[in-house]
Chain A
Amino acid sequence: DAGVIQSPRHEVTEMGQEVTLRCKPISGHNSLFWYRQTMMRGLELLIYFNNNVPIDDSGMPEDRFSAKMPNASFSTLKIQPSEPRDSAVYFCASSHSFSSDTQYFGPGTRLTVL
């Protein structure tokens, strides 16, 4: 299996621009997670999907952040407008089922907002 795929791997943008991060979970997995990692705050869960439905978005920092999962093989995390404090590494992870414990992480997208 190819594992969780994320694109782009690196993104540099200017403040105010829209940013879209993409994720393809492992085939057959029906749980998907978006995380943000920074030195100051560590790993933060932003949103959790189960069977393509958002279950918990309490970690989404502001209305500028939105996430979608239109089908079982694709999810996006969008930031509009972006701000310098959004600079971080964003990870997508998937797991086999709601009750499965192991989360498989993608390689991450390093976002820099100038």
Chain B
Amino acid sequence: GENVEQHPSTLSVQEGDSAVIKCTYSDSASNYFPWYKQELGKGPQLIIDIRSNVGEKKDQRIAVTLNKTAKHFSLHITETQPEDSAVYFCAASLRGNYQLIWGAGTKLIIKP
């Protein structure tokens, strides 16, 4: 079955710098890769997703890149701000399949 590995488990960056979180997946059939942000005391919320027919997607300060050959995808956050501090989860699935396979999460700390 599908397995998703996420690194690093904790990432501390200076406010204003960029942050990159990486995930690898095992099932080459997976074609949908969402990223969720979980703030303290809240449920995960979708922030961006990418499908396997594109290599990169941007939304303001966040972007996701996908390398299907290497089976990895990354979340990039530029110009980090204090409100970016949270736990970020990557996931993978077959589009239209209800089951998301989740990474273990990355705790992002933004230092003032």
* A residues with CB within 8 A of B: 4, 31, 33, 42-43, 45, 48, 50, 55-56, 91, 93, 95, 98-99, 101-108
Contacts and interface: CB of A to CB of B under 8 A. Distances in A.
B96 A98 contact: yes
Interface of B: 32, 34, 36, 41-46, 49, 89, 93, 95-96, 98-100, 102-105
A98 B43 contact: no
B43 A105 contact: yes
Given A43-B102, A104-B46, 10 more contacts: A42-B105, A55-B98, A56-B99, A91-B44, A93-B43, A98-B98, A101-B32, A101-B93, A102-B49, A104-B45
B20 to A, nearest CB: 21
Contacts of A102: 34, 46, 49
A45 B43 contact: no
Nearest to B45: A105
Contacts of B95: 99, 101
Nearest to A55: B98
Q: Which of A43, A95, A98, A105 has the most chain B CB atoms inside 10 A of its CB?
A: A43
Nearest to A105: B43
Nearest to B95: A101
A61 to B, nearest CB: 17
Nearest to A59: B99
B43 A107 contact: yes
A108 B98 contact: no
Given A42-B105, A101-B49, A101-B93, A4 B43 contact: yes
A93 B98 CA distance: 11
A110 B16 CA distance: 34
A42 B104 contact: yes
A108 B38 CA distance: 11
B105 A105 contact: no
Contacts of A31: 98
Nearest to B49: A101
